[in-house]
Chain A
Amino acid sequence: MAAVAARRWLRFRCKVCLTLTGQRAGPCGQAPNCRDFISCRFYSGSATVPKVERANVTGIEEVVIPRKKTWDKVAVLQALASTVNRDTTAAPYAFQDDPYLIPTSSLESRSFLLAKKSGENAAKYIINSHPKYFQKDIAEPHIPCLMPEYFEPQIEDISEAALRERIKLKKVKASVDMFDQLLQAGTTVSLETSNSLLDLLCYYGDKEPSTDNHFQQSEKSEELEEAAEENNEKPKKANHQFGNLWRPENNAERIFALMPEKNSHSYCTMIRGMVKHRALVQALNLYTELLNNKLHADVYTFNALIEATALSAHEKPEDKWNNILELLKQMAAQKVKPNLQTFNTILKCLRRFHAFGKVPALQTFREMKAIGIEPSLATYHYLIQLFYHHENHSKGSSLIIYDIMNELTGRKFSPRDPDDDMFFQSAMRVCSFLRDLELAYQVHGLLNTGDNWKFIGPDHRRNFYYSKFFSLLCLMEQIDVTLKWYKDLIPSVFFPRSQTLIDLLQALDVANRLEVIPQIWKDSKEYGHTFRSDLKEEILMLMARDQHPPELQVAFANCAADIKSTYESQDGRQAAPEWPANSLNSIAVLFLRAGRTQEAWKMLGLFKKHNKIPGNKLLNEFMDSAKASSSPAQAIEIVKLAGTFSLPICEDLARRVMADFAISQEQKEALGNLTSLTTDSDSDSDTSEGK
């Protein structure tokens, strides 16, 4: 009995020690979290035990029993997900499918994603347009989101409730009709409902919202935006982006005029709608009207107004900036708190002012920091764009990027502005433009902090970022490190463009590591650059430029044969480009050096066929190989070939043949004919040109 009691006491004691140490190790450690499981069982009868312990041992810090930790419902999944790292040898998870379908180039990956998404959309469309066929509920417990949604209004009669339902379902036209019917029937619509109707009309610019294919839509607008940014186009171009412009006298304006009472929300939503759909002058006028009616605008409206001021045409940057300042002062006077979007809008607009915008932009940035508004990634993106607008001016290029990176390093972000995903791309662009590898690593480090990688943006932006990064690596980094990155990033992160591969080839050339080239060619075939002639020419040129050890020459010749086959198979594709003379030369040289003489001779045939002229160096090499195999016939063949192309080297070659080979009288004569022929034809052509 006593023994049992002692053991129990020991167990308690151990337990206390455990919790104590766990406590010290860290409040989030494993021990405190287990408490709910174990301690209840141990302590349930005698919760006083730890207190007794503590009284005995004075000077021990007080035990703070941690609160029960509540876990997210996906906590286990998150923990599991964090154990899975990127597989550098495989395509990204999103592309894993039937092996035949796994994309191998950026174009394919894009169409893969589009196909997948459109499949989903099609299924959803069918289910939602024929809900009656999809009523069977197979899931137990019930999963509501798998059931069809109802997009058709259910309330048939003419009432305010029906109007509200239509507004909720975003049926623009039906809502307007319902509003008119209500008005005709003499019913007054409440202020709240008419305001939400205005919201709907203003947001969508009095057009039906496009149906549920967000994916394509956003891609499209992004591309346009990108194009606008890259071409440094003026607002004119931006108009295209907002497909529907504000039409004067549209339903929004009509309903706004019909409303018996209007509050500031009505005005604000009208102003925002007008700015969104680029009716800038009307928006500013309406703001004056709002002030005249002794109402106050909210912060979003001010943001819209700032945008309107900056976009308005026919004004100098100075005037626009003063107008913006005026608006800000009004905000301060009306005690409207600015938010992140206020400052981001200002900075976004200041980009258009180019050089003039720099000082105001910095002041704006400092202002937002001073009043405690944490800048988002988009804020920094705008600053970078403003300060590194002209890539050509390297002199006095701003160093602001260093300040920005110093400030950002180690931070984690959450999305706060729709443009947040532009930052990494533009930061990497600056790194590449400044040729600063250190900085590029810093940016890349920031990208890999926490969940920041999610801000890299859609596919094309990720490709842009990594292409720039990798090109910079090729240019500045040691080749071993570059190759490591190459293995790491490609293809599991992005598919290289042909220019990226050319950069890598040049880096290999600089570092004298040409033996990797056949592998690069293999890769580039895989990534869909089989028919990129600039890439192929580069590869061939590098391989053919210098002599190499025999094994390497064999590998090069295999690679050259492979490239040759791509030129030949190109006939299948329409409008096959011609063989460039350089490639023909290089391939022939490579064959010769690897001892594949026959194939090399075939290449000579191709010169004739494609009407290209072999280089002197190549002919000399052919002569060397003929000599090596001591075959005067071949040597004479070469002279003949040179003769048919009327090359000036012909005579030299003939002389070499005479000197180096034991040739018969017949052959000698033939040679003599050849050389005289060439001189004749030369003179012929001369005279013909003379005439």
Chain B
Amino acid sequence: MFPRVSAILPLRPLSRFPLCSGGSEAAIVLLGAPHGTVRTKNNVQRNFGTNSVNYSKKDEQSAPTHGISKETESQESVKENTKKDLLDIIKGMKIELSTVNVQTTKPSSRRQRKSVEATIGSLQKTLEDAPKKRTKSVSPELEAAASAVADFLRFDKQTTKSELLRQLQQHEEVSKTQKDGERTKISVSNIISDMKVAKSATGRVSTRPVHQIQFDEGTDSLMGQKTDDLKKSLRKNMLKGKRLNIFYLKTVTEEAPKTETAPSLWDVEFAKQLAMVNEQPLQNGFAEMIQWTKEGKLWEFPIDNEAGFDDDGSEFHEHVFLDKHLKDFPKQGPIRHFMELVTCGLSKNPYLSVKQKIEHIEWFRNYFNEKQDILKESGIRLN
């Protein structure tokens, strides 16, 4: 069954929404982490690059309002203001980049990485001629400020970086508020989709249009889907967080003195219940044979040369190498010769257990010891 699933899976993205690819989500996650440390400038840019895919539309909406809020702040401190303006500019650049990115249709992960790199490159280029591009879409005040700060960037990259960070956070807030705005939309679309669910049993007419909407729906539901993903990725993992704090790891893990008792009826019956949990009808004849073997209805299927050969778990070599038991015998001479023949014979005998073989050798030792007189007479030395 499984290979089939995987065979089917590649087909599926056709019906999915093209924009909910993994790359964009990663960017969102980075944004979502409120104080995410962005180590290098390059990194930041990369974020912008991918991020722009998602926020292109929102930025277009939010840029003007953003500008206004900045203006009010600008009265407080000029220097501060200039920095922010720069960031606005960078944001603006992102918009333009994003339009490029959107046009490239759904790159595969490898291509996406390439395109990100390309974006970084172009971003660095655009950094230099940012003011020029900016003139198209930004108010004149901002433009003036931007040209002032473009130089500033050259000198103090460190501060710019931290500003970028802060800006990222602000950006996140903006996106959040937007998201909230969109939530109402989502809920509406949810309701609609539910209506479809309720009706699908009775009226065909209603299901069909919904299907069509799902497959060729426009920007609106696209946003809905996107924010759904957003919601999923931004959301805290519900399985992590506050706990009861009654038990402590130490007390639980420490070994209690175990009193070995026979399992009570409760334990036995519980084990039986457990065994029944994953009892399934047999899948094939071999599975049936396995079950019969386990039930003891079938003789065991031989798995090696030692099938049905139970010798207290003694190993192969103990059966074959019996020389070590000949230590007490003379190193040479007819007795040695005789004993070597005996061990040779024993090592080939599959019917005796190891213990019996040793006993057999033992018997010969005793025998020769008893016959020492005769041996001496015939001039054979034992030890």
Taking Cβ atoms with an 8 Å cutoff, the residues of A that contact B are: 36, 40, 44, 68, 71-78, 80-81, 84-86, 92-94, 113, 141, 143-146, 196, 199-200, 203, 214, 218, 265, 269, 272, 300, 325, 328-329, 331-332, 335, 337-338, 362-367, 369-373, 394-395, 398-400, 402-404, 406-407, 414-418, 420-421, 435, 441, 444-445, 448, 451, 453-456, 475-478, 480-481, 484-485, 488, 493, 506, 509-510
Contact = CB atoms under 8 A, between A and B. Distances in A.
B243 A332 contact: no
B284 interface: yes
Contacts of B249: 370-372
A218 B276 contact: yes
A510 B208 contact: yes
B280 A453 contact: yes
Contacts of A86: 1, 283
B238 A400 contact: yes
24 contacts: A44-B321, A74-B290, A77-B301, A93-B283, A145-B297, A200-B265, A269-B264, A328-B246, A331-B246, A332-B247, A335-B251, A338-B247, A338-B252, A366-B242, A369-B243, A372-B252, A395-B187, A399-B231, A418-B274, A418-B277, A454-B278, A454-B279, A454-B280, A506-B204
Given A84-B286, A86-B1, A416 B274 contact: yes
Given A81-B284, A441-B9, A325 B244 contact: yes
Given A74-B294, A199-B266, A448-B1, A328 B244 contact: yes
Interface stretch (B39-47, B123-131, B193-201, B357-365): B193-201
B216 interface: no
A366 B241 CA distance: 7
Nearest to A419: B277
B61 interface: no
B241 A362 contact: yes
A400 B241 CA distance: 13
B2 A448 contact: yes
B4 interface: yes
B296 A77 contact: no
A214 B272 CA distance: 11
B239 A369 contact: yes
User: For A40, A77, A481, which residue has the most chain B Cβ atoms within 10 angstroms?
Assistant: A77
A679 B243 CA distance: 82
A81 B251 contact: no
A336 B275 CA distance: 26
Contacts of B231: 399
Contacts of A78: 286, 290
A399 B232 contact: yes
Contacts of A329: 246
A480 B1 contact: no
Nearest to A471: B200
B5 interface: yes
B12 A481 contact: yes
Contact of A444 (B5, B240, B295): B5
B293 A484 contact: no
Interface of B: 1-2, 4-5, 8-9, 11-12, 14-15, 187, 190-191, 193-194, 197, 200, 204, 207-208, 211, 214, 231-232, 235, 237-249, 251-253, 256, 264-266, 269-270, 273-290, 293-297, 299-304, 315-317, 320-321
A363 B315 contact: no
Contact of B11 (A76, A373, A404, A478): A478
Contacts of A328: 244, 246-247
Contacts of B301: 73-74, 76-77
Contact of B316 (A40, A113, A200, A332): A40
Given A399-B232, A435-B193, A81 B286 contact: yes
B239 A407 contact: yes
A506 B290 contact: no
B260 to A, nearest CB: 14
B2 to A, nearest CB: 5
B250 to A, nearest CB: 9
Given A332-B251, A337-B252, A441-B9, A478 B14 contact: yes
Nearest to A109: B281
Given A335-B256, A478-B14, 20 more contacts: A74-B301, A77-B289, A84-B286, A113-B281, A141-B299, A143-B297, A143-B299, A199-B264, A203-B266, A332-B247, A332-B251, A403-B239, A417-B274, A417-B277, A421-B277, A448-B2, A454-B280, A476-B214, A481-B8, A488-B1
